[in-house]
Amino acid sequence: MLTNRKDEHLSVVLGERHRKSAKSTGFEAIEFVHCALPEIDLDDIDLSTSFLGKRISAPLLVSSMTGGPARATAINENLARACEALRLPFAVGSQRVAIEEGGTGGLDKSLRRLAPSVPILGNFGAAQLNHGFGPDEAKRAVDMIAADALYIHLNPLQEAVQPEGDRNWSGLFDKIVAVADALPVPVAIKEVGSGISASLARRLVDAGITIIDVAGAGGTNWAAVEAARMENEEQARVANAFADWGIPTADAVFGVRSECPEATVIASGGIRSGIDIAKAIRTGADLAGQAAGLLQAANASPEALVTHFETAIAELRIVCFCTGSANLLELKSAELQQAS
């Protein structure tokens, strides 16, 4: 059932039924002041940064995406090849199936062989910590792909509306912290499209979890994706009522950065272009993540992914040029104007 559900999710996001949030990311309210005399060389702009102890070429992370084992294998291999070619980090989709059922879906050491030099993040859902998962399963998730960190994703809204969802979230904060304390690599916390509040981020950072992926509203809405799978009209109506739920990505980034200046903040949720990446960096993110926006390319080939990434990076570079920002640090303080 779990494998079939993952395939259904992928089909919805790939198809015309893709359900986006009814709420915007908030990035449309951010505008850079154009610098007509940048006095820098476009080709010399440095977009590189460090993440998980490795140098990457641009502040762009491939966020978690998944499907049934057959489709996930091809997607993960394409991601690994493209990310290694461009020196970009990527996170795999949920490893729950691989841990529970033994089918790897390409989630094995072959990913590390394809991408030896870039950060790779493992992933499973926080709700599984109330269903038998713990430090041992977390270590397995890390070891099976030689991961540099482990995402534990938070998706309470999705689980609440999903007919077969995991609704018992009691005591999960302490269990997440216990996993983080037991692992030899960092734990990163991410939402899946409803955002992480500044107050929750502060609790997590105080507990030693310093990588926060806000995954805010404005991109894929997983309540609406679940509604697209449902045959029961009443259940679908309940799920669709939450199409505009969540913290817009820009607001989540600004809030988490303001409350947690020491954290590594990742902006995901509706990041559609290099201009969005630039706005995320200016709002306070260290990296920006994409998932649904590149799923078509990930399902096609490594070459399609490389083209997608190169386009986004070219757009980001031009934003830097047209704001007079020679690097990401300068972009973080680029002048803004009131949105028209």
The predicted-structure confidence for 160-204, as pLDDT tens digits, reads as follows: 999 889 999 999 999 999 999 999 999 999 999 999 999 999 999
Predicted confidence (pLDDT) per residue in 236-261, tens digit: 999 999 999 999 999 999 999 999 99
pLDDT given at position 104:
59
Predicted confidence (pLDDT) per residue in 214-240, tens digit: 999 999 999 999 998 888 999 999 999
pLDDT given at position 16:
47
pLDDT given at position 286:
98
Reply yes or no on domain 2-338 having CATH 3.30.830.10.
no
The domain limits of the chain are: 2-338
pLDDT given at position 66:
62
Residues of the chain with pLDDT below 70 are 1-19, 66-70, 102-105
- CA proximity to 75, closest of 291, 313, 309, 311: 291
pLDDT given at position 338:
85
pTM: 0.93
pLDDT given at position 89:
98
pLDDT given at position 299:
87
Beta bridge partners of 211: 188, 264
pLDDT given at position 70:
65
